Amino acid sequence: MNRRCTLAILVNDQPGVLQRVAGLFGRRGFNISSITVGASEEPGLSRMVIETEGDKRTLEQIQKQLNKLIDVIKVVEVSAQPMVSRELGLIKVNAEPSVRPEIFGLVDTFRASVVDVSPHSLIIQVVGTSEKVDAMIELLKPYGIRELTRTGVTAMVRG
């Protein structure tokens, strides 16, 4: 039975390290639903957060194979513990003056924000779990989404 899994991978900040990790997933047929990379608390090390899914054996293989990479320092299955996971979405939505009050209402409800205002559109920034970003997008669809971009999930164990 497949389940979703969020991994935080501490890696050397080296050229090619993203290629090593992504290549491993590709070559062994592992799935990547989302991937984010950025600095970690330690200089010289980056942290990747990968969302993946698979059965028990696949998820175990993913972690074991990642650990074999010399540039991988540590793999933590964040989703095995209580975690905070966040994603940021930018949504450019059609917004003639007549519908703006409605849209602002949605933005307020989601504690999202309007980060750009143009004569015919707005850019809305929403931060939250992937499900929250999904929900925001669904609600904005009727107005006409012109452009959409999402960062992918980053996550951390609580406490």
Q: Does 40 bind another protein (CB under 8 A)?
A: no
For residues 88 and 34, the answer to whether their CB atoms sit within 8 Å is: no
Out of 31, 65, 94, 125, the only residue in the binding site for another protein (CB under 8 A) is: 65
Out of 60, 96, 108, 147, the only residue in the binding site for another protein (CB under 8 A) is: 60
Q: Does 43 bind another protein (CB under 8 A)?
A: no
Cβ 33 to another protein, closest distance in Å?
A: 22
Beta-carbon-side half-sphere exposure of residue 81 (alpha carbons within 13 Å):
10
Q: Does 77 bind another protein (CB under 8 A)?
A: no
In the block, tokens 């990790």 appear at 21
Q: Does 19 bind another protein (CB under 8 A)?
A: yes
Q: Does 72 bind another protein (CB under 8 A)?
A: yes
Nearer to another protein, 27 or 120 (CB): 27
Could you give the CA distance from residue 45 to residue 125 in angstroms, rounded to a whole number? 29
For residues 47 and 40, the answer to whether their CB atoms sit within 8 Å is: yes
**In this structure, what are the phi and psi dihedrals at residue 41, rounded to the nearest 5 degrees?**
-70, -15
